[in-house]
Chains A and B, each alone.
Chain A
Amino acid sequence: MVTTTALEEELRALAGSVPDPELPVLTLAELGVLRDLRVTAPDRVEVRLTPTYTGCPAIEAMSADIERVLHDHGIAEVEVQTVLSPPWTTDAITAEGRRKLAEFGIAPPRPTGPASGPVAVDLAIRCPNCGSTDTTLLSRFSSTACKALRRCESCREPFDHFKEL
């Protein structure tokens, strides 16, 4: 059993507070992409990060931001590794993260069902502007791969929906 030291907890909180480069309202901790942080030697830290999507271009910016914030905190050597397993899911977004997404105008993802089977697209998704559940899908892919474009039939505003993954 590997235990976490107080220093590791402090550094993990620091790395977790880095804002997501594409959704700066969320921190990496709230997005649920920060998997692990270990102090492996004095002044040396290893961080494990998982991508939201396989091709997510933000992962390199995230790594660089984590390195910078830990360097600024006096850690000389920082290694950020990307891990794929277990795959990230939108269920990893924290409750606070979901609240912030909605406040930012992005409908948060619903809890995911079983991993296989058809993609559920028809359950009610609430408009982040007016709160109506009368919304329709305009496009399965929106400003980024992780979002779909929808329109609210009540207030007529288009909005992004963070797709379940």
Chain B
Amino acid sequence: MNATVTPALPLGDDALILSHRLGEWAGHAPVLEEEVALANIALDLLGQARILLSMAGDEDELAYLREERQFRNLQLVEQPNGDFAHTIARQLYFSTYQELLFNQLAADESELTPLAAKAVKEVAYHRDHAEQWTLRLGDGTDESHARMQRALDALWRFTGELFEPVAGLDVPWSALRSDWTASITTILDRATLTVPEGPQHSAWTAGAGRQGLHTEPFGRMLAEMQHLHRSHPGATW
């Protein structure tokens, strides 16, 4: 397996892992329309992952045969689905970041440009979906407001990593951070929610996912994701 240092690997891992997490909602989403929406977003992300991981090596080997420490995804995307509010908070934080990042990459000239230019139009729908739910839950009932705020607070400590430089990407990270913060602040204000005030890192999460350090739930998720391929090597439909 040849996991090279191309930035396609960490970005592909983000897409793959979040796709898998969203796929876990299949059969469990609160309403049928939402089941379909989350599965469609997962499918878009899986399409991104296949193209990005193919730039870094063999897509199946990279997805199914790497160990936990070899994955370079953000810790944010591996966080468990939690309740629906947690999933929406994760979607809001990530899709806002991904849209800004892909817009940047789409404007450059690199091996990632074609994929970024293609995917950013789909990601705009992911971000819109997350924003509409954030508004509805935040400005909804006392219960939905409280749970949405709790989810935003709980995931806040994983957002600092979004702006850690990725090797091989020439991106103005501090500008990306300001744009992301402005966008999140605007939507949370409209949703009558509060921008969390806690640290955006804990001591051991600074850039950690990009270095292969992951949180405890990730290993179990990988075990499930890789189980079939590892049990039946070379199996095809």
Comparing A32-40, A68-76, A137-145, the segment that makes contact with chain B is A137-145
Chain A residues within 8 Å of B45, by CB: 55
Asked if B36 contacts A55 (CB within 8 A), the reply is: no
Comparing B86-94, B121-129, B199-207, B223-231, the segment that makes contact with chain A is B121-129
| Complexed CA–CA distance, A140 and B46 (Å) | 19
Chain B residues within 8 Å of A105, by CB: none
Shortest beta-carbon distance from A158 to chain B in Å: 10
Select one of A121, A139, A144 contacting B33, CB under 8 A. A139
> Is B114 on the interface with A (CB-CB < 8 A)?
yes
* Interface size class, chain B: 20 to 34
| Complexed CA–CA distance, A138 and B31 (Å) | 12
A53-85, CB < 8 A from B:
53-57, 83-85
Select one of B33, B41, B46 contacting A149, CB under 8 A. B33
Asked if B33 contacts A53 (CB within 8 A), the reply is: no
Asked if A54 contacts B36 (CB within 8 A), the reply is: no
A144/B114 contact (C-beta < 8 A), A54-B122, A116-B103, A119-B125 known: no
Chain B residues within 8 Å of A42, by CB: none
| Complexed CA–CA distance, A96 and B46 (Å) | 32
| Complexed CA–CA distance, A53 and B43 (Å) | 9
Closest to A112 in B: B121
Shortest beta-carbon distance from B201 to chain A in Å: 30
Asked if A140 contacts B129 (CB within 8 A), the reply is: yes
A145/B122 contact (C-beta < 8 A), A55-B48, A116-B103 known: yes
| Complexed CA–CA distance, A115 and B119 (Å) | 12
Select one of B33, B34, B39, B115 contacting A54, CB under 8 A. B115
In this complex, which of B115, B122, B132 has the most chain A Cβ atoms within 10 angstroms of its Cβ? B122
Interface string of B102-116 (1 = CB under 8 A from A): 010000000001110
Closest to A59 in B: B47
> Is A118 on the interface with B (CB-CB < 8 A)?
yes
Asked if B128 contacts A119 (CB within 8 A), the reply is: yes
Select one of A54, A140, A143, A149 contacting B119, CB under 8 A. A54
| Complexed CA–CA distance, A54 and B12 (Å) | 13
Asked if A53 contacts B44 (CB within 8 A), the reply is: yes
Chain A residues within 8 Å of B113, by CB: 85
> Is A165 on the interface with B (CB-CB < 8 A)?
yes
Asked if B43 contacts A87 (CB within 8 A), the reply is: no
A contact face: mostly helix, strand, loop, or mixed = loop
A54/B51 contact (C-beta < 8 A), A85-B113, A86-B117, A165-B121 known: yes
A125-165, CB < 8 A from B:
138-145, 149, 163, 165
A118/B128 contact (C-beta < 8 A), A53-B122, A165-B122 known: yes
> Is B118 on the interface with A (CB-CB < 8 A)?
yes
Asked if A145 contacts B129 (CB within 8 A), the reply is: no
Shortest beta-carbon distance from A50 to chain B in Å: 9
| Complexed CA–CA distance, A24 and B118 (Å) | 24
| Complexed CA–CA distance, A149 and B129 (Å) | 13
B9-57, CB < 8 A from A:
33-34, 36-37, 39-41, 43-48, 50-51
Contacts from B to A (Cβ < 8 Å)? 33-34, 36-37, 39-41, 43-48, 50-51, 103, 113-115, 117-122, 124-125, 128-129, 132
Offer 23 A-B interface pairs, CB within 8 angstroms, sorted by A: A51-B47, A53-B47, A53-B122, A54-B47, A55-B43, A55-B47, A55-B48, A85-B114, A87-B117, A87-B118, A115-B120, A140-B125, A140-B128, A140-B129, A141-B33, A141-B36, A141-B40, A141-B125, A141-B129, A144-B40, A145-B44, A145-B122, A165-B121
Give 13 new A-B contacts, CB below 8 A, not counting A139-B34, A139-B37.
A55-B44, A57-B43, A83-B114, A84-B117, A85-B118, A115-B120, A140-B37, A140-B132, A141-B39, A141-B41, A149-B33, A163-B125, A165-B122
